Amino acid sequence: MRSNKLKPLVIGDITIEHPLALAPMAGVTDLPYRLLCKEQGAGMMCTEMVSAKGLYYGNRKSEPLMATDPKEIPVAIQIFGSDPEIMGQMAAKVNDGRFQMIDINMGCPVPKVVNNGEGSALLKNPKLIREIVTKVSGAIRKPLTVKVRIGFEGYPVDVVEIAKIIEDSGAAAIAVHGRTREQYYSGHADWDAIRRVKEAVQIPVIGNGDVDSPQKAVQLLEETGCDGIMIGRAAQGNPWIFREINHWMKTGEFLPRPGRSQIVEMILRHARLQIEYKGEYTGIREMRKHVAWYTQGLPHSARLRREVNRVEAYSQLEELMTSLVD
């Protein structure tokens, strides 16, 4: 038996027993998928990112992104933007019982966000970071967290100084993705940058990047001293990763990977949740990418992906998935 190296994570007045966080991913970590990851042992949830300007102007696309369920508590809403006043006002607007924390996105690398001066573009402007975090932390009564990357091409970003600014401005925790904006999701995450942030601040630091197994989770903890682990792409089509990491850290035993029947069962359950929350038309179409992730590496998965892209109803998906285990 080994002692559990993952100690409870305390963010403000919230204690998270299993400090494994599901990273917010647009188009992926909606409510149905968060519920599945929660059941598998993820301790901290976050919505897909929500535009503060979208909330301010009453964009109808914002509300579905904020759907929550009591079973996933604690859950944070992640907002993004670059106007301190709007960010503060919209943080106050969502400072309600649906969310236990509020998170600010300062890491999104996609051009649509960056070209508006939002997401990881904020790393270029430490003064603006201070203004935003100060406004938001002063407008809410819940713990505030911030997610950052470690750099932005062509600019002398010092992630340690940015982390100190975020701490000084009222944040209760910081999540650090050990990649620059230019890297997107390629190459290797710089865990040493996460370590330097951890050594520089007193608030909890959540490490993010390249954790795709129990061994990597332990390695990240040992090399950085971080207080929690955030998992993104490795959880796509793989909600079991949270259970596997928790189990290995408690017992030193590796759980067997799910077999075909377990994968099919999870896919169909995921699809039923999608339909419950979004209706069959949208739910089934959104399942197509999830099925591709779930079945990656299985025999004939390329053919399966082609076929699932033609599926339009749950009955068709069920028939296709059942053929995998027959």
| 191-197, long-range: CB < 8 A, 24+ apart | 191/220, 191/223, 191/224, 192/223, 192/224, 193/150, 193/159, 194/150, 194/220, 194/224, 194/226, 195/223, 195/224, 195/225, 195/226, 196/159, 196/160, 197/159, 197/160, 197/163
- Kindly state the tokens that stand for 11: 């963010």
Query: What's the CA gap between 302 and 230, in Å, rounded?
Result: 29
In contact, 159 and 148? CB cutoff 8 Å: yes
Per the annotation, the verdict on 226 as an active-site residue is no
- CB-hemisphere CA count at 13 Å for 232? 23
Identity at 246, one-letter amino acid code? N
Which residue out of 37, 46, 108, 226 is catalytically annotated?
108
The DSSP letter of residue 239 is T
- The amino acid at 306: R
Pairing label, strands 173-180, 144-151: parallel
Angle between helices 126-139 and 159-168 (to 10 degrees): 30
**In contact, 244 and 250? CB cutoff 8 Å:** no
The residues annotated with a catalytic role in the active site are 108
